[in-house]
Amino acid sequence: MTIIAIDPGFRDCGVAVFRDGKLVRCDHVKSKATGLVEAIQFSQTADAVMEFVADIVEGGHFDLAIEYPQQYANSPAPRESVQKLVGVIGALASRVQPTSGGLSVRVTTYKPREWKGQVPKEIMFDRILGRLDEDENKTLPNLSKTRLSHVYDAIGIGLHHLGRLKNVAANAETLPSSLG
């Protein structure tokens, strides 16, 4: 079983690929195009992610685990930023069906509090790294701290999806595969 875990961004995403429960590939994937109108940028970002995983998932079955943003009452994040992430998630969901050869992809979304609770980033990153074995650690890219944080989030989402990260909250919401 292959799982693609994604920490979505408007122009870039953290992506982690797990095969048979083990992390096999991860990186910070950036869209080649920027400065586009939102709808086109959603597509370009989704295309960059699918290009990154194409050789791993082409024609095969895989699950998609994605962080789904939530607008909290006192959050400083503008609503527009959250809406852009939802647009990227929609574009990703629409791309996975043809890649898999049909409607066999299960898309599961996790709100941040569902997979990491309110644990501070530094503690969560240490927890994520502590769950990786020696071979999985070798897959970690050499990136700036900011970009690496998106990769760590993607890995954390994948570990949570696999049950390898302490379950900090209740069930995730699973979207029907007919979306997209």
Determine, yes or no, domain membership for 167. Answer: yes
Determine, yes or no, domain membership for 152. Answer: yes
Q: What range defines the domain where residue 132 resides?
A: 2-175
| Count of domains for the chain | 1
Determine, yes or no, domain membership for 69. Answer: yes
CATH code assigned at 51: 3.30.420.10
User: Mean pLDDT for the chain?
Assistant: 84
Spell out, as residue ranges, where the chain has pLDDT lower than 50. 167-180
pLDDT at 81: 81
Determine, yes or no, domain membership for 112. Answer: yes
Determine, yes or no, domain membership for 9. Answer: yes
Tokens 């992809």 belong to 105
Determine, yes or no, domain membership for 111. Answer: yes
Determine, yes or no, domain membership for 180. Answer: no
DSSP per residue, 91-145: HHHHHHHHHHTSS--EEEEE-HHHHHTT--HHHHHHHHHHT--HHHHTT-----H
pLDDT in tens, 2-54: 899 999 998 899 999 999 999 999 999 999 877 668 888 888 999 999 999 88
pLDDT at 154: 97
Determine, yes or no, domain membership for 95. Answer: yes
User: How much is the pTM?
Assistant: 0.86
